[in-house]
Structure 1
């Protein structure tokens, strides 16, 4: 007999296969961000200006990887380097106006895609699902030691 945890493992595997919602909903030309850019911009948005070191800690990624990612986002006009607002030595990255616009457009595209997927779900089921996902994610974050900032 399969345990409920086995069922979660299977559904998590299938969910990971579908994690990129860009295939669910057509987007206007040029509005789609790469997954890594969307995640990085979302983290800077949630936490505020961040240094390379802070990003490295947040994502458990090598500094060289983040240097490449942030350089690409800076070249695209989505991030800018600023002096540390708290007076520290390390310069930090923050969203530009264009970065904010593109991130907001991407989030809205994700919400539209999820609305299509859950079109026949009652609002209370969507709220319960969101609560379970948060609980699941905070459990991972507790074990991993890298919580995502939430309101």
Structure 2
């Protein structure tokens, strides 16, 4: 056994460790897992579009803090699979907007059901108060990140409780 030096066992160090670990439970693509239809980028873009009005490529780029060429490539793949479509700006602007198609909504809902089922299995033996507390703390953490990045993410109306 090698000595890797002192272990930082502060609450903050444990938080950092656990946040690093959580990323291994959510692979970059779930399409390889049985039952999932969308890759990670499509799932996230469709989730964002589902929370509001159609968005331009620039608005999506700003929302995800990604280069517009990256968003353009990801949306291009989604257009090819008919998950999204280009529509005129509802406010009369020049830029066309991206909105979810019926096929995209169906795939998003199917993947949400799979994710919910998977997470439900993880917390099946948890007390309801623990699930509520984890949800509250995750929301608080995410909002703190959004505040630091000055990039708020819209939430469904029921998520503020």
- Using structure 1 for the length normalisation, give the TM-score: 0.91
Partner of 1:130 in structure 2? 135
Partner of 2:25 in structure 1? 18
Partner of 1:49 in structure 2? 54
Of 82, 89, 100, which aligns to 1:84?
89
Q: Secondary structure at the match of 1:47?
A: coil
* Greater C-alpha Rg: 2
Map Cα deviations across residues 18-47 of structure 1 (whole Å, 9 max, x no partner).
123949xx643xx42101110111111113
Structure number with greater CO (CA < 8 Å, separation at least 6) is 1
> Deviating runs (4+, > 6 A) in structure 1?
none
- Using structure 2 for the length normalisation, give the TM-score: 0.86
The size of the alignment, in residue pairs, is 147
Partner of 2:38 in structure 1? 33
- Contact kept, 8 Å, 2:84 with 2:99, in 1: the verdict is yes
Structure 2: stretches of 5+ with no match in the other structure? 1-7, 157-161
Partner of 2:9 in structure 1? 2
Of 79, 86, 93, which aligns to 2:98?
93
Structure 1: stretches of 5+ with no match in the other structure? none
